[in-house]
Amino acid sequence: MAPVRPRTIKVARAYYAVVATIGTTAVVAALAIGASRGGAEGMVGFLSEMTYWSNILVAVIGWSLVINPQRDGRFFRWLRFSSLVMISVVGLVYPLILAANANPTGYEVYTNIAVHYIMPWATLLGWLVFGPRPRITLGTVALMPILPVLYTTYAMVYGAVLNPTGEYPYSFLDPATGTSQVAAHIAMIMVIGLAFGFLYWGIDRALSRGVKPTKLSGQAIPQQIDAARVADETLAPDRVVEKV
């Protein structure tokens, strides 16, 4: 793990700003499209897709990293990792499964490209290049499914109760297709998410050269890691840092 240089911090901040701007613009544009087609219900329809949950989370994380590219904290670690996994699932599942039946028109063509193709890859690239790391533990991986489970629960309630049309955010969640089919699709997506989680945990450890994530105590409090301290710690990659 190389020392954190001021120039790297500046480049990271600029990169996150660009990605966060793309994500924010795409989400706002999607809401406008939804409103133009169905008012508040149209907006809720867009926001009921995992795609937009993921993109909103990634945009929020991006703006946080613009302010502090070395941001840390127990809650932040979990939220960023969860958003990374969720946006990765979106970037994989949409092109392979959903894109064939999608028919975006008008401005939605551009928002579709942004949220399903640009944001997943840009988010992954930013994490790979700029980190910061090490940040991921097996505990982080174990807690990652919380958000996907919450989303799945919401999506099922939305389709069954909240949506006047009875339409589900994704057709494979509709019980009309068969409960076994719905369960199989949900299980498959959860497995894909966990696979991404363990993959990213392994990458985080490998790129950290064996340095374990800092142990955090108490509530998640954003912390600024001093560049000089980071440089000193990275000289001894086998050392476990106890405090930030």
Whether residue 231 lies inside any domain: the answer is no
- Tokens (6 digits) for 192: 């894909």
| Token pair 């133009």: residue | 36
- Share the mean pLDDT of the chain: 85
Cα separation of 178 and 173, whole Å?
9
Sign of CA dihedral 1, 89, 122, 100: positive
Q: Do 197 and 144 meet the contact criterion of CB atoms below 8 Å apart? A: yes
Cα separation of 70 and 4, whole Å?
9
Peptide bond connecting 132 to the previous residue in cis, omega within 30 degrees of 0: yes
Cα separation of 65 and 14, whole Å?
10
> In this structure, which amino acid lies at residue 132?
P
Whether residue 149 lies inside any domain: the answer is yes
pLDDT given for residue 216 in this prediction: 67
Q: What is the DSSP letter of 95?
A: I
The pTM (predicted TM-score) of the whole model is 0.82
- 164: Cβ contacts below 8 Å, ≥ 6 apart: 41
Whether residue 132 lies inside any domain: the answer is yes
* Number of domains within the chain: 1
Q: Which secondary-structure segment (H or E) carries 85? A: helix 74-93
- Tokens (6 digits) for 129: 């290049």
Whether residue 234 lies inside any domain: the answer is no
Q: To the nearest whole percent, how much of the chain has pLDDT over 90?
A: 59
Instruction: Compute CA 225 distance to the chain's CA centroid, rounded to the nearest angstrom.
Output: 23
Whether residue 237 lies inside any domain: the answer is no
Whether residue 1 lies inside any domain: the answer is no
User: pLDDT class for 231, splitting at 50, 70, 90?
Assistant: very low
What does the pLDDT look like over 163-175, one tens digit per residue?
A: 888 889 898 899 9
> In this structure, which amino acid lies at residue 18?
V
Residue 236 predicted with pLDDT over 60: no
Calculated CA dihedral for residues 147, 149, 150, 155, nearest 10 degrees: 120
Among candidates 87, 78, 232, 52, which has minimal Cα distance to 158?
52
Calculated CA dihedral for residues 147, 148, 149, 151, nearest 10 degrees: 90
The domain of 190 spans 6-217
Whether residue 241 lies inside any domain: the answer is no
What does the pLDDT look like over 151-197, one tens digit per residue?
A: 999 999 999 988 888 889 898 899 999 999 999 999 999 999 999 99
Residue 37 predicted with pLDDT over 70: yes
Cα separation of 171 and 144, whole Å?
24
Tell me which of 233 and 21 has the higher pLDDT: 21
Whether residue 232 lies inside any domain: the answer is no
Q: How many CA atoms lie within 13 A of 243 on its CB side?
A: 0
